[in-house]
Amino acid sequence: MTSGSTGLAGTSILYDTIVPVCPEMNSPEGLKGPEGTTRPPVKILIVEDDEAHIELIKRGFSGGYEPTELIVAMTVGGARAEILKNPPDLILADWLLPDGKGAELIMSTQGVPVIPVVIMTSHGTEQIAVEVMKSGAIDYVVKSETTFTEMPHISTRALRQWRTIRDHDHAERALHENQEELRLALQAARAGVWSYDIKTGVIHWSKEYARLLGHGDDTGCPGYAYWVSCIHPEDRGLIHRLIQHQTGPVVKDIDLEYRIILPDGMTRWMNDRGRVFFDPAGKAIRVLGISVDITSRKMVELALAHEEEQYKNLVANINDVIFATDQSGVLTYVSPVSERVFGISPKDAVGRNFSDYIHPEEREEAKRRFSEALAEGPVGIETRLMVTGDMIKYVRISSRLVSTNGMVTGITGIITDLTERRQLEELKIRAFYQIEKNLGQMAVLNDQIRNPLSVIVLLAGAAGCREGQKIIDQAMEIDALVKKLDQGWAESAKVREFLKKHYQIQKE
């Protein structure tokens, strides 16, 4: 039951499903295309059981200025089959058909007809008109000589109206969806948006921004001063400079990090990115921004920075040199303190073999002990290093193997400078032996003093006179003094024993 004045009926391959949106038809010119372009004909399904009316409608379109493909169905059922087979752009349906009403062909999704339907009636009563419009038809015409002639115009108008409805609906839905997506995205990102009208001072917050500031869903903002009061006092200057005095094209894009204080006193870190808008004269009129709560990231950053600072301080302040070598002993890292302790800059040391620095007399022995001991686990050896200007440093090297996937990739360790300690140790030993020597000499001297005393006492005793006794008494006083020295010596012996134990000094 199809026919077309311009041919191609039922052969279109442009539409394989019921998709009414035809991009080429979105132009406000309706059926008119841009000059010089060829466009597919508008497909119109005529649903009419009166052959005479069909003929009149067709004749009406033949006078039209738009290429039109006319398809005809005489029943509701026939029309449905036709719609499925070859979806039209527009349906012109009679109000009353043998198997139902033309309005039954109206299919709507969310209140918008999928295909616009214009209902034609033979009798224009108000009741029918209301019923037709309620059913969702795009237009309603009473059949007459005039309306048949006007059909191309009526069709164009109907299509245009339908497109307007549809586009509006799409736009609204898209907007709604965008807003919803934005809202969800903002919530998920702990972000909010705001705008600041520089001229009026009016600030708009999104709900999300209000929530970030701890103000619930309140979108109203009491004003700039209040906004600033939410910001950490130390960061307010930053905001002032960027926003309040944003009067020239100095800054177009805003990217700043600052802290806010929540009503409960908690501090949170925000990152605001925004843009300043200018009037044609180049004067800033509006700032639009998005705020993201970056507290977690900032905390990690601050903790990391703190940790790094501590590590740097630690490495810089300890006198132990940290080093790493590859598996062949070539230094890959030397901590900066090396410069201060050994006069060797890390830059010079890296790339050289560690053993180059070991005193030649100890090199082979140290290498042997290292390789033997490292196989067992962490190792500590004491050796001598040759540093700047052939200076010798006594050091302790504590190190361990570094393995990756079971393969030895190098050695890491710590070098402790023992030079000063060693010098002190030597000084201590020398001092100790000096004390020993002095004490020994004291014991000898005591003995030597007692020899002449003995002579004096014996001589005086032999004399047997009063003066002799006096001399003996004096000699005994001297002996008493020497005895005190003996006492000191005996006590020193105890001190010596203590020193020996405490300082682990072995008699050589």
Which residues contact another protein (rule: CB under 8 A)? 443-444, 446-459, 461-462, 472, 475-476, 479, 482-483, 486-487, 489-491, 493-494
Return the structure tokens found at 196: 């600041």
**For residues 345 and 441, which CB has a smaller minimum distance to another protein in the complex?**
441
**For residues 133 and 453, which CB has a smaller minimum distance to another protein in the complex?**
453
Q: What is the CA radius of gyration of the chain?
A: 53
**Contact indicator for 254, 168 with CB cutoff of 8 Å:** no
**For residues 201 and 452, which CB has a smaller minimum distance to another protein in the complex?**
452
**Contact indicator for 116, 138 with CB cutoff of 8 Å:** yes
**For residues 153 and 450, which CB has a smaller minimum distance to another protein in the complex?**
450
Contact partners, residue 148, CB within 8 Å, separation at least 6? 53, 56, 57, 59, 60
**For residues 179 and 448, which CB has a smaller minimum distance to another protein in the complex?**
448
Rounded to whole angstroms, how far apart are CA atoms 336 and 358?
Answer: 19
Minimum distance between the CB of residue 458 and another protein, rounded to whole angstroms? 5
Taking Cα atoms as reference points, which of 321, 410, 317, 403 lies closest to residue 357? 321
Minimum distance between the CB of residue 434 and another protein, rounded to whole angstroms? 21
DSSP 484: H
Rounded to whole angstroms, how far apart are CA atoms 348 and 123?
Answer: 106
Minimum distance between the CB of residue 436 and another protein, rounded to whole angstroms? 14
Contacts by residues 298-302 (CB-CB < 8 Å, ≥ 24 positions apart): 298/257, 298/269, 299/269
Minimum distance between the CB of residue 470 and another protein, rounded to whole angstroms? 14
Angle, CA of 292, 297 and 299, to the nearest 5°: 120
**For residues 212 and 472, which CB has a smaller minimum distance to another protein in the complex?**
472
Tell me how crowded residue 388 is: count the other CB atoms within 10 A of its CB: 12
Taking Cα atoms as reference points, which of 385, 402, 403 lies closest to residue 394? 385
Minimum distance between the CB of residue 480 and another protein, rounded to whole angstroms? 11
Minimum distance between the CB of residue 385 and another protein, rounded to whole angstroms? 44
DSSP 63: T
Query: What strands lie across the sheet with 68-73, from one edge to the other?
Result: 68-73, 42-47, 90-94, 117-121, 139-142
SS3 403: strand
**For residues 189 and 449, which CB has a smaller minimum distance to another protein in the complex?**
449
Residue with tokens 């019921």: 18
Q: Point out which residues pair with 194 in neighbouring strands.
A: 205, 289
**For residues 255 and 497, which CB has a smaller minimum distance to another protein in the complex?**
497
DSSP 481: H
Minimum distance between the CB of residue 414 and another protein, rounded to whole angstroms? 45
Minimum distance between the CB of residue 437 and another protein, rounded to whole angstroms? 16
Minimum distance between the CB of residue 475 and another protein, rounded to whole angstroms? 6
Return the structure tokens found at 375: 């196989």
**For residues 316 and 458, which CB has a smaller minimum distance to another protein in the complex?**
458
